[in-house]
Amino acid sequence: MTTAGDLMVIRPRRLELPVWLVAVGLIVRWLWRGLWWCLRHPVTVGLVVVGVVLYRQFGRVGLIVPVAVASAVSAVWRWKHEASWWAWCGGPVLGRFRQVFVYRRAWREAMTLCGLARTYDHRPVLPQLLRVRSDQALDVLTIRMVRGQTPEEFQRVTANLAYAFGRRHARIYTERPDQPPVRSGYWALVLGAVDRLRYRDRPSLVYLVIVRTDALRTVVEPFDVPTNPDFTALPLARREDLRHWCLHLLATHVLIGGATRSGKGSVLWSLVRALAGGITSGLVRLWVIDPKGGMEFAMGRPLFARFACKSFEAMADLLDEAVAVMRERQTRLAGAVRVHTPTEADPLVVVVIDEMAALTAYLQDVELRKRIASSLGLLLSQGAGVGVLVVAALQDPRKEVLPFRDLFPTRIALGLTEAAQVDLVLGDGARNRGALADQMPRWAKGVGYVILDGTPEPARVRFSYISDEHIRELAAEYPAPSDAADILAQVGRETADEPARPSLPRQRRGPLLPDSLLNFLDRDADGGEPR
């Protein structure tokens, strides 16, 4: 008899199987696993089968000759067309190798110690490594999350993951980090359909990009000056995957935040270099404000249509004139276009301001500061659409220093001194998503974080280094046209006429209230007769 408090242990009945049946069961299970593996790895299986057949037919020579020929073909391919070699040969092979020998071996340990493993039904459950794709610099790991996990959990431990696999930098993407290729020709329709399938939204996956070789450690040489700059894609920097990072300048304002000596100058000069072709052809006018007395920009004076570096009065005038240009364009273009297209007659005006805080916070003359703030506010809120853009650099991104921070749609964060400043420059949550701009090593001058088009995750880039020599050459080769400073002459030109408005048919004049309410207001409060 049991009494209250007695412990009853209930165990399911154990099925006793004969040993031979257990052995057969295990063999079938292993055979099935082997077959499944072969089905999933047809290339490896095919190569092994071919290798065995060749070896049996021709002995060692049967193996050595094909390997030598394949190596020679691969070497020539890489030499002639490195990009396609990485995409079709080197990348997949290296990725597979690293998946098996690097990531799989440390996977369980890394996931558990980084806090990404879960326990379900008394058993550990790990995120699943599906695929590794490598290129010259990066490994892209496709990971299936454990049910109930979110990408934010991976983003929080991005640095831990990088160090767990022996690297310094990693980034988590919620969608495939690469863009679908642009297809053309006969097969475009079919390949496009395949791409749509490959690039479909897969919420259960995250992509961990591990920087294997830090391509940003070496200084980036200046890019070629485009004769006709594409204002939607100006090459300014090198990305971690060795591609160019291009700035979309059209219809946006750009804010560059970076501590002193972090390389803000290289961002501004890379932009000037990318625009230089347009400066000479008259498509762009640079209006430059250098509150540091010309230390940064005076060397490139011939490139600039307007330049103010000494008197704050002159800087305020320059901004007022930019507002005048903006107003004139607004009046002229209203109703005709919604976004201004730069032409020689109507060029893009880019107001470049180095150390913006000197104008918005540190200027002692309160009246002048207010005047500057009001012009800047107008330019930032209304100038982008009419081709009057502001590109500004500053060291301290706090609101007291730069009240218009939120009016800059495009932001770049170079090395910063505090973790909190990263979100102030790039927007809330950017640091959690991997923009560790406050942890820049000393060598990382001109290295910064930018937000790539279409992805919320920040990317790390290094801006090209423009030396004094390059600036002198640029100024000599691409001076602004002689009438460049004269844009204000346009401001006086005739504005568009008022459009002729067809008269509408006259409506019958009548009471504005329905008949039932007509006399209502005249009644007494107790609903009596109209007064």
Ligand X SMILES: Nc1ncnc2c1ncn2[C@@H]1O[C@H](COP(=O)(O)OP(=O)(O)OP(=O)(O)O)[C@@H](O)[C@H]1O
Query: Which residues of this protein are in contact with ligand X, per CB under 6 A?
Result: 219, 258, 260-266, 395, 445-446, 463, 465
- For residue 285, what is the enclosing H or E element? strand 284-289
Q: What's the closest the beta carbon of residue 380 comes to ligand X, in angstroms?
A: 22
- CB 265 to ligand X: min, Å: 3
Cα gap 417→257, rounded to integer Å: 11
CB of 413 to ligand X, least distance (A): 12
Residue type, 383: G
- Using alpha carbons, list the distances in angstroms from residue 326 to 26, 28, 107, 379: 79, 78, 57, 8
Residue closer to ligand X by CB (options 98, 238) is 238
Q: Which position has the token pair 């597979």?
A: 96
Q: Name the percent of the chain in helix, strand, coil, to the closest 5.
A: 40, 15, 40
Q: How far is the CB of 266 from ligand X (least distance, A)?
A: 3
Nearer to ligand X, 174 or 262 (CB): 262
Give the residue with the Cβ less far from ligand X, 94 or 286: 286
Q: Which is nearer to ligand X, 333 or 466 (CB)?
A: 466
Nearer to ligand X, 375 or 395 (CB): 395
Whether the Cβ atoms of residue 339 and residue 276 lie closer than 8 Å to each other = no
CB of 304 to ligand X, least distance (A): 17
d(CA 462, CA 460): 7
Q: Which residues are annotated as a binding site for ATP?
A: 258-265
Closest separation in Å from C-beta 392 to ligand X = 13
Q: Which residue has the tokens 């305020």?
A: 316
Q: Is 306:288 a contact under the CB 8 Å cutoff?
A: yes
CA dist 39 and 327 (Å) reads 68
- As beta bridge partners, residue 234 has 247
Nearer to ligand X, 411 or 445 (CB): 445
For residues 207 and 245, which CB has a smaller minimum distance to ligand X in the complex?
A: 245
* Angstrom distance (rounded) from CA 319 to CA 351: 8
Alpha helices in 392-509 (DSSP H): 419-426, 468-477
Are the CB atoms for 227 and 277 separated by under 8 Å? yes
Q: Is the dihedral of CA 442, 290, 299, 230 positive or negative?
A: positive
CA 438 vs. chain centroid, Å, equals 18
Residue 382 to residue 514: CA distance in whole angstroms: 44
Q: Which residue number places its CB atom closest to ligand X?
A: 446
Tokens at 411, concatenated: 């932001």
Q: Which is nearer to ligand X, 164 or 268 (CB)?
A: 268
Q: Which is nearer to ligand X, 104 or 261 (CB)?
A: 261
Beta partners for residue 244, in sequence order: 238
Q: Locate tokens 């007509």: which residue?
A: 518
- Half-sphere exposure of 241 toward its Cβ, with a 13 Å CA cutoff? 19
Distance of alpha carbon 449 from alpha carbon 423, whole angstroms: 11
Minimum CB–partner distance for residue 277 and ligand X (Å): 21
Query: Which residues are annotated as part of the binding site?
Result: 258-265
- Residue 57: CB minimum distance to ligand X, A: 57
**What value, to the nearest 5°, has the Cα angle with vertex 221 and ends 218 and 223?**
140
Pick the closer one to ligand X by CB: 223 or 463: 463
Residue 226: CB minimum distance to ligand X, A: 19
**CB of residue 376 vs ligand X: minimum separation in angstroms?**
20
254 SS3 class: strand
H/E element, 280 = helix 264-281
Which residue is it, tokens 């995957």?
Answer: 241
